[in-house]
Amino acid sequence: MSAHDYRFVANDGGDLPLSAWRGHPVLVVNTASFCGYTPQYEGLETLWRSRRDRGLIVLGVPSNDFGAQEPGSDAEIKAFCANYHVSFPLTRKVNVTGKEAHPFYRWLADELGERGVPRWNFHKYLIDGEGRAAGAWPSSTGPQSKEIAAAIDALLPARS
């Protein structure tokens, strides 16, 4: 199995199969509106805008699993994200831990062991173009960190 075997429902209700992004690196981030890390939306948006033309996908996955910091409806989440000018895709709110975790997150835990289990909001996972888990970073590692940027850039075509 690979990440391409999983799908989410978009914040607006559309289908979001990860296979649609085959050949592209995808940075998947479980998000929350009322977290101390919420300002990372700005860095995620900057990362998305600076690399989407080269193939990067950023996918926000709202979750209320940690500290009940994403209590709103999908419409409220989308409206909140507008404050950060978020234009990258967002899923509907899902569980990312425990027995009710979305199957993609259960797969990550199987693939990466303890590194694959999010410990808080804004945990980041990089999926390569073949659908393999290529990296994982905790909430404290910002989306524009050198470590994340280098991992993403290694999967993108060179700038022309």
pLDDT of residue 113: 92
pLDDT of residue 159: 67
pLDDT of residue 92: 98
* 14/54 Cα distance (integer angstroms): 24
Tell me: pLDDT of 160 over 80.
no
Q: 128: which 2 tokens?
A: 């390569």
* 137/135 Cα distance (integer angstroms): 7
Q: Is 81 a catalytic residue?
A: no
CATH top-level class for 3-155?
Answer: alpha beta
Q: Which of 9, 22, 34, 35 is catalytic?
A: 35
Q: What is the pLDDT of residues 121-148, one digit of tens each?
A: 999 999 999 999 999 999 999 999 999 9
Cβ-based neighbour number of residue 87 at 10 Å:
13
pTM: predicted TM-score of the whole model, two decimal places: 0.97
Q: What is the pLDDT of residues 39-67, one digit of tens each?
A: 999 999 999 999 999 999 999 999 999 99
